[in-house]
Structure 1
Amino acid sequence: MSFRFNFSSEELESAENDSTVRSSLDNYDGLNITGKQPIPKPFIPPRELVLNNLNDVLPLTLIAERIFISTCEQSILYKRHLSDVKFQVAQEDNFLETNYNENTRILELAADNDIVQGVYEGGLKTWECALDLVEFLSKNTDNLNFEGKRILELGCGTSLPGIYILTTKNPFRVDFQDYNEQVLKLVTIPNILLNTLLCPKTEDFSNGTAEIDVPECVNLLDQLKRSRFFMGDWNGLIDTINLDSEQEKYDLILTSETIYNTDSLPNLYNVIKHSLKRPNGIALIAAKSIYFGVGGGVLLFRQLIEQDKVFGIKIIYNEKAHVKREILILSFLDCLA
């Protein structure tokens, strides 16, 4: 089934043009059904994306935009501009002498729908709860120590929360998962490189964007091999990640805007429960209080957690916009006791 987050197709790009963590995002009004006929939900099986070269991932240049994080000390993250994604896909279509490929299909779906369940799950855009999560992480560095830790971002999309930790907190590793392989290749991986090895300079920016050359060097691939990348459904993801021991599990799991679909809540929770390290691992879930049209939101997710009696759950962040946004923290109950 397809849904809209109350943005028009024109706003898909204009929202990406905004380089601050607020502005038009606060006009968000939940998740609404478009009125189109339901699309039968397919299933993309989970698998690991193994990168042996970057020839089919990166173009020769990337167009970057800045995201300003409002903290005591202002931080800046960089992400690929959506127009640059569109340009790369158009170029690939021309090269392949075809008018349609899987990347084109994802872009078309993203223009018409914020999500199409089981097909495209919204990963090309940066949603406001992801930015809430970055701000929370940046303001709580004294309470959250990520140095040497293993971290996983589920439903990462443009992956700014995971990238913030990767580039500022000296973790052991940060792994990334998104439903769509195209999202990982078109935005997640470019964003990681923009914030690590490519590092745009302030003077490079004009009109809010900068064109960054992508050198042909082994360092880019070496940087990416410090992380693992997973794609596909959460159902079966645990077997794909294949965490053989408690020590290999994650100290921190991040996720934002992923609890909108009631059908997927058990699978998401199952990944968190079986991938988080005991006894001190924590999960941070950033979400709207309610997602109109599909019934997901904080209340149902909390009920699922409380019924299972494995985790304690606490609200640690509130943003009272038109639809309230929250960040939840999960900690093992046996640790809290």
Structure 2
Amino acid sequence: MAPINNPVLPLGSTILVTGVNGFVAATLADVLLSHGYNVRGSVRDTSKNAWITSLFEQKYGSGRFELAHVPDIVVEGAFDKAMEGVAGVAHVAAILSHEPDATKVVPPSLTSMMNILESAAKTPSIKRFVLTSTAMTARALDMHDPVVLTQDSWNYDSLVNAWMPPPFEMGRGLEVYAAAKVASEKAMWKFAEERKPGFVCNSVLPALVFGRLLSPEHQGTPSSTHFVTALFKSNMEVIGPSTQMIKTFNYSDNEDVAYMHLAGLIHPDVQGERLWAYDKPCNWNDLLSVFRKNFPDRQFIDDIQGVTHDPAKNQPAERAIQLLKELGRPGLADMEQSIVKYIPQFA
């Protein structure tokens, strides 16, 4: 049953979720299926990702979920076939790279963004389009100025820093990733304003994403959970460089992120919005505190020196909490809830 009255997309509609094998996308597909929608999920390799079809068929029965083969999102028309007959699109797939050379990341990210928008614009059945953006489009990581974040907050610094001349040090990879995300989201809003397609555009801004995996066996330690795993196991070879570069960050629960996408897809009052999927800041020592509290028999590294908390006020989080409650959720999950759901899956 729909979580709100009169959803924009009728129950039984098919939603395209791109990159459906990913951490956020798989969770979103699960949430959509649980609320009565059908899902078509795009992946680069359907045989490699047959597990997700089996998982959803066991959970929801046959005919509710299907995989679509989209081998290269940069190719023109790559999404045309996958779009056929869908009512909404959640564009979660992205070029994930720590490449410090912006020329190798930003242009293809923009090309893939325009490819899917053009395909959607040719598909009259589509009424909603939701882009998975990132918290870094609003604010760069590790900032310490006490600003007030709003719908109009943009990380223009990364757009500049990503294009600085060589040497391309690896630490610039985060700036390049942020620049690609800013450019892609800006391109979507420009497309919506100038082309006025037959669908409403919204975006979702997650931070570092924690939470329960659908299939630890197949998903491994994706996205931000890789850092949690490394810190839990005291693997300083992995976590060490990150703790040196990043002193504070924000976090999102993967289910909250999925429900914010749901709001962007079906909520009649969510039109042309950037939806924040995070609220409070945290740091590495906060994670260690959660570990020690919930796993008292295990030894962890000492607290890391020099960590901080971002002093920014996240104004859009109030809207996120309101929408989550309208969708039957208690609000944004705290970090401990997300971590405790995840760690038993690999510990």
TM-score greater than 0.5 by the shorter chain:
no
Question: Which is helix-richer, 1 or 2?
Answer: 2
TM-score (structure 1 length as normaliser): 0.38
